[in-house]
Structure 1
Amino acid sequence: MQEIFEAIKEASKQIQDVIELGDTAKSENENSTGDTQLKLDIASDIIIEKIFSTIPSIKSIVSEEREDIIQLNDEGDYLIAYDPLDGSSLVDVNLSVGSIYGIYKNDFSGENIIASVYVVFGPRVEMVIAANNEVKLYRLFENNFNYIKDIKLEKKGSLTATGSTQMCWSEQHKKLINQMYEDGYYLRYSGGMVPDLHQILLKGGGLFSYPGTTDRPEGKLRQLFEVFPFALTYEFAGGKAVNGKDRVLEIKTNHIHDTSPCFFGSNDEINRVLEVYKENV
């Protein structure tokens, strides 16, 4: 699997160049869920596919920007689902964005994810690899990703980041967030999944939530490309990930672009979610 990590490092260097010099305008295309693609999304997707196509151990890939699975090597062992540039609409206002990768075996499902990687493109380029029950942070310096430290969550954090449109929140979610504010939690929400989850990890804990809402009962974030990779990362870091009721990695996937409500955090925060969401408010 090391060759896959090295391929992601190389892709990240090229994507960073595209972000610095690339066109932030919208394209004329839409992705599989109807979102208008930015030219940066397309350029990043092309970079990743080109590099992955050279790795014999990769059997197939699927991008958040594509409709179908792409077969690469019949004898390969690994399947990779990736979001080439999550939060790309934030680039033109100079906020952090990221890439997310889930590495699977056998098929694309939560129970078969074995490793995940995400990359933050911000003031610094950082990569987090979750594998072998460990989470490790690397930082790009002089064209190399250097190991910085292992990441572990505390039992309880102090941050909360919650997405979706507030007017569409359920009564349970309103209660959850109001209770957290009353208990002194700090709001930290950029509109980018990668930087917000990264901040909670590096600050030791808290809660990131993107619930089901009246307009999107099954949530907005995609299981294979976003939800499962971060669920694995948080579990390996000593935290938890749920959909409000069940462990995220036990959710069934019927289609490669399925979405799910999701809550990622340290243990105290996730226990709080489960307690509130079991109530009939």
Structure 2
Amino acid sequence: MAFVLPRSLQQQGLAGQVRTNSTAPSAVHPVRQASKQVCVPAVSSPAAANGPQPSGRAASVVPKAVAMTPESKTLGRRSSKYEIFTLTTWLLREEQKGNVDGELATVIASIALACKQISSLVNRAGISNLTGLDGGENFSGEDQKKLDVVSNEVFANCLRSSGRTGVIASEEEEVPIAVEESYSGNYIVVFDPLDGSSNIDAGISVGSIWGVYEPSEECPIDAIDDPDKMMEQCVLNVCQPGKDLKCSGYCLYSSSTTIVLTVGHGVWGFTLDPAIGEFVLTHRDVKIPEKGKIYSFNEGNYNLWNDDLRAYMEHVKDPAAHNGKPYSARYIGSLVGDFHRTLLYGGIYGYPGDKKNPNGKLRLLYECAPMSFLAEQAGGKGTTGKRPCLEIMPEKVHQREPLFIGSKHEVELLEHFVAGKRM
């Protein structure tokens, strides 16, 4: 028997054809109609958010345009407005590129954890009785702040528990420490747990600095039963030139907590988002300006400097030598704070030797070499005034060296004066 359409559909002229956007409720089974409604998510339809649609026309799904971040372009996909690029994500990408291995990534992640803890301690120092002196001195005879001691413990504990460090050396400890065999790994980490701690009680920015080395093949630390021999080997492992660094970086504790680091392939910065507890990429492939008219020196020591350095200082302050615009002075008294500004704005930071301290007061392993590695990866320069910091082979764990670091042009100008030349 032939099937005959209802008269109502014949009157609409639908015999023998299909209307793809028809919604005629009288011609569609109610269950099928309901299933069609379920298949169109309301949140995907911009028109649905603007109220009911005209009858006889289904709501169209129009995807919003989504911006492509540099990371998403690399991965060949669209990004979401909720996508964030964290330090963890960056480490995974660097491992995929072959720039770091899994052990080094673990070491860096452990350092980031230590920085989070220290950031919290710094922020709460005033209300947690962590300001003021600890009452003791470190091996160099310097007064230790309470936070110096606590930060050193935090850093050391995080590195030990990572299971990827064999030797750790701190500015606050007299000798390097061989990590217990049960936790032992391969990497050597040197660090200044809290640089600029004299500023803590005033609420001024401070920071942590670190460098990571591979163990020296000539100085293994395993399978040594003699504790004295092991310590001797530890020292030899630690004393490596800055050019052998596998990673260096610093963490700035200020209005925000920011990690800046390099693994030998550019400089990257990550800012801690307290809402999620993660370091988020905020400074991509940082390059220090070639020139910068800011100098950061403690001019209180001016009369203790040699004639060449004083001549340089007079030059940068002379309006006639710079078209009426002399350099500006900016000095925080915290290497991390001063260097961070120099890295972003350009200029030069200097801690020279003087009549009281011929080699300055900054340590080569914990401060000069890691910061110089960062500066050179960003297109800048780090020097003692006479030779690159990265070329110096340390003879002692706590060896001190003068440091001039910043924009390449500015550091070379200083070297010109230190060599006895004049403009």
TM-score with structure 1 setting the length: 0.95
- Which one of 171, 191, 205 corresponds to residue 96 of structure 1? 205
Report the aligned-residue RMSD: 1.5
1:21 corresponds to 2:162: no
The residue identity in structure 1 corresponding to 2:280 is N
The residue identity in structure 1 corresponding to 2:383 is V
- Separation (CA, whole Å) in 2 of partners of 1:224 and 1:199: 22
* TM-superposed deviation, 1:45: 0.6
* TM-superposed deviation, 1:157: 1.2
* TM-superposed deviation, 1:239: 0.7
In the alignment of these two chains, the number of paired residues is 280
Q: Secondary structure at the match of 2:390?
A: helix
1:115 aligned residue: 247
Q: Is the 8 A contact 1:31 1:64 kept in 2?
A: no
Q: Secondary structure at the match of 1:132?
A: coil
1:154 aligned residue: 289
Q: How does 1:248-259 map to 2 (within 5 A)?
A: 248-259=389-400
Q: How does 1:124-273 map to 2 (within 5 A)?
A: 124-141=256-273, 142=275, 143-148=277-282, 149-163=284-298, 165-182=301-318, 183=322, 184-203=326-345, 205-273=346-414
Q: Secondary structure at the match of 1:255?
A: coil
TM-score with structure 2 setting the length: 0.64
- Separation (CA, whole Å) in 1 of partners of 2:108 and 2:311: 41
Q: Is the 8 A contact 1:64 1:225 kept in 2?
A: yes
Larger RCO (CA under 8 A, 6+ residues apart)? 1
The residue identity in structure 2 corresponding to 1:179 is H
- Separation (CA, whole Å) in 1 of partners of 2:271 and 2:123: 17
- Separation (CA, whole Å) in 2 of partners of 1:45 and 1:95: 19
* TM-superposed deviation, 1:73: 5.6
- Name the structure where strand makes up a greater proportion of residues: 1
- Name the structure where helix makes up a greater proportion of residues: 2
* TM-superposed deviation, 1:139: 0.2
1:81 aligned residue: 190
The residue identity in structure 2 corresponding to 1:154 is P
The residue identity in structure 2 corresponding to 1:145 is F
- 1:36-88 CA distance string (max 9 Å, x none): 10010000011111111112221100111110100116663211110101011
Q: Secondary structure at the match of 1:226?
A: helix
Q: Is the 8 A contact 1:118 1:127 kept in 2?
A: yes
- Which one of 52, 75, 98 corresponds to residue 159 of structure 2? 52
Q: Specify every segment of 5 or more residues in structure 1 that has no aligned partner in the other structure, as ranges.
A: none
* TM-superposed deviation, 1:100: 0.3
- Separation (CA, whole Å) in 2 of partners of 1:76 and 1:172: 47
- 1:142-168 CA distance string (max 9 Å, x none): 211001122101211121101372221
Query: Taking every aligned residue pair, what percent have the same amino acid on both sides?
Result: 31
